[in-house]
Amino acid sequence: QVELVESGGGSVQAGGSLRLSCTASGLRLNDYTLGWFRQLPGKEREGISCTVWADGTAHYADSIKGRFTIYKDNAKRTLYLQMNSLKPEDTAIYYCVADRSWFGSAWWPPKYWGQGTQVTISS
């Protein structure tokens, strides 16, 4: 079955950086779009970045554009999210997601989700 396992969350001060990782198994990656959603405290889940694994096409939500970078390592079957210039409002649970269809246009919920990793940014 499809499994997405995130790592790399933690606590940092505002202005700092973190890198999230997501190792995928049980799916043919070139057939999928993978990405990241997050859930801020008391809010709905929101899509923030995604990439077409086959060609690297990437998309970002306005809230994180210019600060976060999504990239992948084909050999390791791992998706990354480099997060720089972190702000307290980035505090959230971050989820790795995957779907056969592109979901970056309207950020509808993808089919597959990881368990989530907590990111906490202090001021």
Give pLDDT, residue 24. Answer: 98
Distance, CA of 88 to CA of 90 (rounded, Å): 5
Instruction: Work out the pLDDT band at 45, boundaries 50, 70, 90.
Output: very high
Write the pLDDT tens digit of every residue in 58-74: 999 999 999 999 999 99
Write the pLDDT tens digit of every residue in 85-122: 999 999 999 999 999 999 998 999 999 999 999 999 99
Give pLDDT, residue 59. Answer: 96
Q: What percent of the chain has pLDDT over 70?
A: 100
Distance, CA of 69 to CA of 2 (rounded, Å): 24
Three-class SS state of 90 = helix
